[in-house]
Amino acid sequence: MKVAILAGGTGSRLSEQTAERPKALVEIGGRPVLWHVMQHYCHYGFDDFAIALGYKGECIREYFVTACTKRGQLRVSFSDRAITASKTEAAGTPGNDQSELWPGTVDLIDTGATTATGGRIKRLAPWLGNETFMLTWCDGLANVDLAALLQFHRSHGKLATVTAVHPPGRFGRLEIRGQSVTGFEEKPERTEQWINGAFFVLEPDVLNYIDGDHTQWEAEPMQQLVKDNQLMAWQHDSYWQCMDTLKEQQQLQSLWDSGQIPWREWL
């Protein structure tokens, strides 16, 4: 099953880290957030990726080429514009370092510098085929049970499933009785509301809901799916954290440094 990952945004709210690189390559524990997302999917056996590139997409291309070719023997064919990493080692040389690699395949697709999220998804159509596919962004880490998510999607027969998550609390919470404060919690771990956690399972017909490059997936397409009763929610009641700001990136890094890494099921 293909896993589509949108990695083309500018990451403007994380500008301290994204002036020179795309958000997908902002690091946690010395590894790009994209690496963490892909490891999550590979852990569940989903290792065929289509990555939508945009802002500084050349940096992501370079990352994968470097990861694949930094050790071992290379064959460069300028006529075919191909670089092949050989599995055969020269005598006396160490084996390839597999720490950056994944068991499956990665298609890197330029979807335009200014294309909206829906437009990026539609531009991936030739790589997605006429089959069920998964979709996510590069700005959220979670311990979502992807196998259970897929099973839920297949059970209801609708076009789309979104993972609903509890957002972390950003502000202190007051408990009030009458006009008296009866309790206070500074930035609770999560709120009780549900939001879009951006781990989707989709049928190919959802592409018909996207007009073109200007379409935001989270606007008209999702709203129309709701109107057509074609969007279901898989409720994930465990860990989820977005990485939209420098503070959130630092929080994720602190968790990694502490060894308490709730999204790290694959290690």
Q: What is the pLDDT of residues 35-58, one digit of tens each?
A: 999 999 999 999 999 999 999 999
Lowest mean pLDDT among 4-18, 137-151, 155-169, 246-260: 4-18
Judge contact between 84 and 77, C-beta under 8 A.
yes
Structure tokens at 229: 């009763």
Predicted pLDDT at 206: 98
Other beta carbons less than 10 A from residue 100's beta carbon: 16
Superfamily for 2-258?
A: Spore Coat Polysaccharide Biosynthesis Protein SpsA; Chain A (3.90.550.10)
Other CB atoms within a 10 A radius of the CB of residue 103 amount to 9
Say if strands 231-235 and 160-165 run parallel, antiparallel, or are unpaired: parallel
**How many other CB atoms sit within 10 Å of the CB of residue 58?**
11
Q: Tell me what the mean pLDDT of segment 70-99 comes to.
A: 62
Which residues does residue 174 pair with via DSSP β-bridges, in sequence order? 184
Grade residue 240 by pLDDT with cuts at 50, 70 and 90. Answer: very high
User: What separation in angstroms does the CA of 161 have from each of 3, 136, 149, 197, 247?
Assistant: 14, 12, 8, 11, 30
Cβ atoms of 173 and 204 within 8 Å: the answer is no
Q: What is the pLDDT of residue 175?
A: 62
Half-sphere exposure of residue 43: CA atoms within 13 angstroms, side-chain side: 16
pTM for the model stands at: 0.85
